Amino acid sequence: MAKTSMDFKLLMRLLRETVPYAVLFWTCLALAVLLAPINSIRPFLVGKMVDDHILIGDLPGLKTIAIIYVVLTLVNVVMRYAFIYLTALVGQNVIRDLRTRVFKKMTSLPLSYFDKTPIGTATTRTVNDIETINTIFTQGVITMVADVLSIIAVIGVMLFTSWRLTMICLLTLPLLIIATYIFKEKVRVAYQKVRTQISVMNAFLQERISGMRVVQIFNAEEQEMAKFKKINRTYTKANLDSILYYAIFFPVVEIISAIAFALLVWWGTRGYWHETISFGALVAFPMYLNMLFRPVRLLADKLNTLQMGLVAAERVYDVLDNTDAIEDKGKIEKTNVKGNLNIENVWFSYLKDDYVLKDISLNIKAGETLAIVGSTGSGKTTIINLVNRFYEIDKGRITLDDTDIKDFTLANLRTHFATVLQDVFLFSGSIMDNITLRDDNITQAEVIKASKMIGAHQLLSSGENGYEFKVMERGANLSMGQRQLISFVRALVADPDVLILDEATSSIDPETESVIQYAIEKLIERRTSIIIAHRLSTIKHADNILVLDKGKKVEYGSHDELLKIPNGKYQQLYNIQFAESA
């Protein structure tokens, strides 16, 4: 019972999505109301043709009724076309708005959401589930209203025409209702399994296709194929279960319909012989019977469509109602930032009480360069994620120019930072699109200027179509060095107050690295910079170096100062690297 109540509330919430399209929605309902009597009156006219005109040979009267019948049929055709088109239009408008809202919500969610949610699942929510919601409007609520009104209208006209034949026809209706209910419940469960398996399959395919290089490098095709076959079998079984219930239900309905028709013929013939039922009624009632049973039979399928649409809507609203979003309650928007960055007693954990940063305090003055080193998992990248407010800190605070970063608007805060990552992500599109991210405020002249600053202009413009060269998904048709240069130019055109380089030169060949290293040295003369690097040779000239170990600040100072610490962590890392290169 609670489930029904929850579904009803969910349905009401979904119907409120039609408010911007209220005129269309109410037009559809009006058409549903008008179609019901127009449909049901046509068999009545057939009965009148037989009783009042054909049996007595009244050809002029028959002609008049026939014209009325044809006109009503044409009106019904036009109205039904309008009904089908307008219900689809309402649905498409609603799901278009929902897609936009879901994508906007996705872009505002913290990285922790994507840490926990497979990309395939997120794609299912945005595409498959929202498309399923469309069926609530095209095959669900409004069409169900039309079917119910049609049933009521047909029964009303049937009673008016012959209450005796109506009672006979309705004898089998309870059997149809019971069969419909059982079918609805069975298919609902099967459809829920189908929706779940679609999500599982999408998540699996997204991961494997994205990681196909790894699958092939490690010769894991057979293992992955075995996993996919298992998922595919489960998905196929869920679909076959739903098909099985259809295969049983529709023949059962045909049997019930046949019984009803047999009773109609038997009782109607007796009534005609005893002159209690007219011949016109006997001719019209098979039409009534079809008009009565057809919507009842389809109602079960539409109830399942509605239920599956609600299941999809619940998943979509789970995304829209997600409260994990980074709070954006700040009011401050600064255009001129010096770049003084303070990290004060910061504690942070991805999982509750499992701290990856423990009481970290730093002071980076405007224009200074801080290098962060440490073993894998020591918390280096976590620090830059917190500075950008991709995650919320558990304890402590971070300030930019003595203002808590929570007091900035998120959009304004992030305009002051630019980050170059080791793992460069490029989108399908041109080189120019990937640098500007389609921001019309960034001109081609600014892009070229930034490219020349790091010596990348010749490399990026020398190919076919220059900066309009088409980049494949994830930059598959570019070298690692080219991808890194595009990422670097992308950061430079943003003209950040704080530049963050997260292993930005680790995947670059020595020739390209020397170009970028020259550009870095020029840039950090006037910017606050944070550099994360494994290669200690690239950070020797940093103002200060932070050494992390298991989330703790173990050493802090300049390159020369840290080398003087006996058996220090930095000294050990330095000796190991230079011993390897010797």
Tell me: the pLDDT tens digits for 322-336? 877 788 888 999 888
Same fold, 2-320 and 338-416+530-582: no
The answer on pLDDT for 431 being more than 80 is yes
User: Are residues 312 and 125 in contact, defined by beta-carbon separation less than 8 angstroms?
Assistant: no
pLDDT one-digit tens code per residue, 188-233: 777 778 878 887 888 888 788 877 877 887 788 888 899 999 999 9
pLDDT one-digit tens code per residue, 356-366: 999 999 999 99
> Apex CA 425: angle with CA 346 and CA 537, to 5°?
60
The answer on pLDDT for 19 being more than 60 is yes
pTM assigned to the model: 0.71
* Nearest partner of 149 among 291, 319, 7, 314, judged by Cα: 291
* Nearest partner of 530 among 415, 382, 346, judged by Cα: 382
Average pLDDT estimate for 305-320: 84
Of the spans 296-310, 336-350, 478-492, 506-520, which averages the highest pLDDT?
336-350
User: Are residues 130 and 96 in contact, defined by beta-carbon separation less than 8 angstroms?
Assistant: no
Average pLDDT estimate for 46-65: 84
Judged by average pLDDT, the poorest of 89-93, 384-388, 440-444, 462-466 is 462-466
Burial of residue 379, with CB atoms counted within 10 A of its CB: 0-12 exposed, 13-18 middle, 19 or more buried: buried
User: Quick one: pLDDT at residue 71?
Assistant: 92
Average pLDDT estimate for 146-161: 85
Distance CA 544, CA 562 (A): 9
Distance CA 15, CA 92 (A): 13
CATH topology of domain 2-320: ABC transporter transmembrane region fold (1.20.1560)
Tokens of 379: 């918390």
Higher-confidence position of 435 and 578: 435
CATH node for 338-416+530-582: 3.40.50.300
User: E-strand spans in 352-416?
Assistant: 354-364, 369-374, 395-400, 403-404
Tokens 């069926």 -> residue: 135
The number of beta carbons lying within 10 Å of the beta carbon of residue 233 is 11
Any idea where the domains of the chain sit in the sequence?
Answer: 2-320, 338-416+530-582
Mean pLDDT of all residues belonging to the chain = 83
Q: Which amino acid is at 148?
A: V
User: Quick one: pLDDT at residue 6?
Assistant: 45
What secondary structure letter does DSSP report for 375? S
The answer on pLDDT for 312 being more than 90 is no
Average pLDDT estimate for 257-272: 84
Tokens of 114: 């994507």
